Amino acid sequence: MDFVVILQAGVASGTVLLFATLGEILAERSGVLNLGVEGMMLIGAMTAFSVTIATGNPWIGLLTAMLFAGLISQIHAFITVTLQADQVVSGLSLTLVGAGISLVLGEGLSKAGTVSLMPNFSIPLLVQIPVLGDIFFKEQSVLVYVGYLMIPLAWYYINHTRPGLHLRAVGEYPSAADALGINVYRLRYFYVFIGGIFAGLAGATISLAVSPGWFSELTTGGQGWIAIGLVIFAQWDPFRAALGSYAFGALRRLILDIQAPLTLFGVDNPFYYNPYLSFFLQMLPYAFTVIVLVIGSREAIRKRLGAPAALGEPYIRGERGK
Amino acid sequence: MAEWTASKKRGALRVQLEPRLDVPPAWFPVAVSLGAVFVALILGGIVIAFSGGNPFATYAYIARASFGDIGVLSDTIVKATPIILTALACSIAFRMKLWNIGAEGQFIMGAWGASAVVLAPLLPPETTRWLFIPAMALAGFGMGGVWGLIPGYLKAKFNVNEIISSLMLNYIAVSWVNYWVFGVWSEGGFQMSPKFPTNASLPRLSDYAETIPFFRGLTTHAGLIFGILAAIALWFIVYRSRWGYEIRLIGDNPRAAKYAGINIVRNTILVMALSGALAGLGGVSEVAGVVRRLQTAPLNAGYGFTGIIVAWLAKLHPLAIILVSILFGALILAGREIQPSGIPKMIQGIILVCLIASDFLLRYRLRFTRGEVE
């Protein structure tokens, strides 16, 4: 078991969670909770894989996946922003619809064979940094590097640009934003769309880079839900989101690698001698999500931090002074 | 008040929205829900056609394969039985605006609890059915309850989002059951436990075919009685008991409930536990009535998620849930043989989308006017 390898692979598989979490952060910052991440990721993974097979070009697959997931997200935007329905139930239904559509359209794809994947490469110079170079900059997928760029960009965009200010205003105090001439409805549609695009990118990252292929619902295996949990842990901050995502990525890899060696820390490896115990290892990402939620929620109470004030509330123009 | 214009139509047709001030007549919500299901079937048909299928043939097949004769009708009821219980589970939690979407995991843990009574074994295999079945039901009810109590407790004490925690527990439950199915209780290395003895199985109608020949081949089992009794009990709790009044008040107006001195923390934990326990009872019914051994795949078949949709379509009404469950049982039964295999799941999702969208019509009145307004 080589920890550098685990972390290297962890960064790659954590990139999936990173994209999904960043997208959900942007949507939630505008005041729309979208529980459809899992469904949009499935749509993205299926679309990316099938379009890449059809065209032979993973970039076209990637872009189509982002676009299709973004379009699907607009169902949620229409139902919650225009029709002002409950965001929880609408998001759930989006997950079911996304899973259903991707199963129907992805029928037979799992036998379609291999496709050309997103390219992997090392970053010159940076790769020579001891340990960190191996973990972060050696033979990673181009999407992993895109992930590195997204973290500071998203942070800067939210906290230090004018559109980012509008985004936060719409999520915290929509009626004040409206009074300042910001179109609350349009911005919410837009950020739900951006969230969908990111979820589609996350799904495409699975099927075109991290674990290539289409394995029906097992392709995402609940990562969309973990991402929603990570948003709460991250307290809507891109840097904390990155920390959580990469940690979860490393955990996924650790679970695979811990079963191989004969001894662990000098004693017989129980997971090697009793492979059924690996079912307990498989619980870990989900159990950790619950633990991370407890930590995040307690911290939020203590520091009086919280979700965007208008999260989950439909904005109805002219109704009450919210 | 939102408004928009559909200017492409003759002249300027304006659609104006006004919040409904009156209470619409009783038939109106039912009509809207049926309309939503109808629209969902059309949309689902479009996707089926797009993926190369024939929507009319598909729907005709679903109807024939689920209501065509008494035999398949009985199978439909078998599929509906677990859904009744998971939908009841969702309905009581949703009533309090607790989004328990972990019915799937609670269902599986209930099945595991019932199986433990047989396989551990907590009772010897020759135990009479009159002791075996109640013990299994109680164990499953309890295990499901524990699995619902965990997110309820975390919500009440630490304000942990119950949507995510209950969903994460689904995955943990599947791994937990897999451990027992693959490892401890595996029958000769297969991914299933040994078959339960007859005393530990719920009787089917066909078991009585010798005395009543009409029952020959009918698979409907006594789990349906669990479902109907649970629905009646829940109806009584929600609409006729003080506790139910508290639950409805918390759901409708938590602030008023708090000022009325209702203990929200305690009710959150209790309602989540009851919700989990009902889903767990569904698992008992399925494992003892249909599968008759512990096996992951037939138990982890999405009954918990279907329960969410059924609860919503039935407007959380316990007795309406029975009827709606039968419709969804039909969809699932027929869906097993439909290609592509994702169609039933997709149609369920689209039905839920249309239902939520249609709620809009209950809250707003559309007014069509022509020409310039105001």
Question: Domain ranges in chain A?
Answer: 3-303
| A16 neighbors A255 (Cβ within 8 angstroms) | no
| Chain B residue with minimum CA distance to A228 | B164
- Percentage of chain A exceeding pLDDT 70: 98
Q: Is the pLDDT of residue B8 over 50?
A: no
CA of A250 vs chain B CAs: smallest distance (Å): 19
pLDDT average, residue stretch A238-256: 92
Check if the beta carbon of residue A203 is closer than 8 Å to that of residue A42. yes
List the single residue in B50, B168, B357 with the smallest CB-CB distance to A79.
Answer: B357
With an 8 Å Cβ cutoff, is A97 touching chain B? yes
- A322: pLDDT strictly greater than 70: no
ipTM computed for the complex: 0.90
Mean pLDDT, residues B134-142 taken together: 97
pLDDT at A8: 92
Round to whole Å and give the CA distance between A182 and B3: 18
**Overall fold of domain B52-339:** ABC transporter involved in vitamin B12 uptake, BtuC (1.10.3470)
List the structure tokens of A161.
Answer: 């640009």
Question: Could you tell me if residue B256 is left (phi over 0), alpha (psi between -120 and 50 degrees) or otherwise beta?
Answer: alpha
Q: What is the mean pLDDT of residues B143-163?
A: 95
Instruction: Place B328 in a pLDDT band, splitting at 50, 70 and 90.
Output: very high
DSSP single-letter state for residue B241: S
What pLDDT, on a 0 to 100 scale, did the predictor assign at position A81?
A: 93
Q: By the CB < 8 Å criterion, does A60 face chain B?
A: no
Mean pLDDT, residues B56-76 taken together:
89
A183 touching chain B per CB within 8 A: no
Q: Which residues of A touch B169 (CB under 8 A)?
A: 286, 290
Residue A36 has pLDDT above 90, yes or no: yes
Cα(A88)–Cα(B105) distance, rounded to whole angstroms?
A: 19
The amino acid that residue B334 corresponds to is A
Instruction: Please report which confidence band the pLDDT of residue B373 belongs to, taking 50, 70 and 90 as the band edges.
Output: very low
Contact A292, A244 (CB under 8 A): yes
Handedness of CA B247, B248, B250, B256 (dihedral sign): negative
Name chain B contacts of A279, Cβ cutoff 8 Å: 175-176, 178-179, 182-183
**Smallest Cα distance from B208 to chain A, Å:** 40
User: By mean pLDDT, which of A87-101, A216-230, B40-54 is the weakest?
Assistant: B40-54
Q: How confident is the model at residue B374 (pLDDT cuts 50, 70, 90)?
A: very low
Closest CA in chain A for residue B154 = A294
Give the range among A60-64, A73-77, B35-39 with minimum mean pLDDT.
B35-39
Please choose, from the candidates B258, B294, B368, B250, the residue with its C-alpha nearest in 3D space to the C-alpha of residue B114: B294
For the domain A3-303, what is the CATH code? Answer: 1.10.3470
Average pLDDT value for residue range B105-133: 94
Which residues in chain B are closer than 8 Å to A276, comparing Cβ atoms? 179, 182-184
A52 or B372, which is more confident: A52
Question: Which one has a higher pLDDT value, B321 or B27?
Answer: B321
Residue A86 to residue B356, Cβ atoms within 8 A? yes
Q: How far apart are CA B107 and CA B203, in angstroms?
A: 20
Q: What are the sequence ranges of the domains in chain B?
A: 52-339
pLDDT at A277: 87
Between residues B297 and A265, the one the model is more confident about: B297
Between chains, do A97 and B352 touch, taking CB under 8 Å as contact?
A: yes
**What is the rounded average pLDDT for all residues in chain A?**
90
pLDDT band at A300 (very low <50, low <70, confident <90, very high): confident
Q: Using one digit for the tens of pLDDT, what is the confidence trace for B183-193? A: 899 988 888 99
Has residue B2 got a pLDDT over 50?
no
pLDDT-derived band of residue A37, with 50, 70 and 90 as boundaries?
Answer: very high
pLDDT at A320: 55
Q: Which residue of B has its CA nearest to A218?
A: B171
Nearest CA in chain A to B159: A297
* Residue of chain A minimizing CA distance to B344: A100
**pLDDT one-digit tens code per residue, A83-141:** 988 898 899 899 999 999 998 888 878 777 777 788 899 999 898 998 899 999 999 99
Instruction: Assess A283–B contact: CB distance below 8 Å, yes or no.
Output: yes
Question: Cβ(A41)–Cβ(A224) under 8 Å?
Answer: yes
Model pLDDT, residue B17: 73
Is B356 in contact with A290 (Cβ distance < 8 A)?
no
Q: In what order do the strands lie in the sheet with B364-370?
A: B3-6, B13-19, B364-370
pLDDT tens digits for range B223-241 = 999 999 999 999 999 999 9
* Average pLDDT of the residues in A307-318: 83
Radius of gyration, alpha carbons of chain A: 20
pLDDT at position B371, please? 59
Binding-face residues of A in 243-272 toward B, CB within 8 A: none
| Residue A220 in contact with partner chain B when CB distance is under 8 A | no
Burial of A176 (0-12, 13-18, 19+ CB in 10 A): middle
Distances (CA, A) of A2 to A25, A256, A311: 33, 12, 42
Nearest CA in chain B to A318: B1
Q: How far apart are CA A6 and CA A256, in angstroms?
A: 9
C-beta atoms of B346 and A97 within 8 A? yes
Please answer yes or no on whether A107 and B341 come within 8 Å at the CB atom.
Answer: yes
pLDDT for A49 beyond 60: yes
* List of chain B residues whose C-beta atoms are within 8 Å of the C-beta of residue A104: 47-48, 51, 340, 342-343, 346
**Does the pLDDT at position A75 exceed 70?**
yes
Question: B342: which chain A residues are within 8 Å (Cβ-Cβ)?
Answer: 99-104, 106-107, 216
Which chain A residues have a beta carbon less than 8 Å from that of B357? 78-79, 83, 85
pLDDT band, very low/low/confident/very high, at B372 (cuts 50, 70, 90): low
Interface contacts (A, B; CB < 8 Å): 158
pLDDT value of position B1: 43
Q: What is the mean pLDDT of residues B304-308?
A: 92
Interface touch A287/B340, C-beta < 8 Å:
no
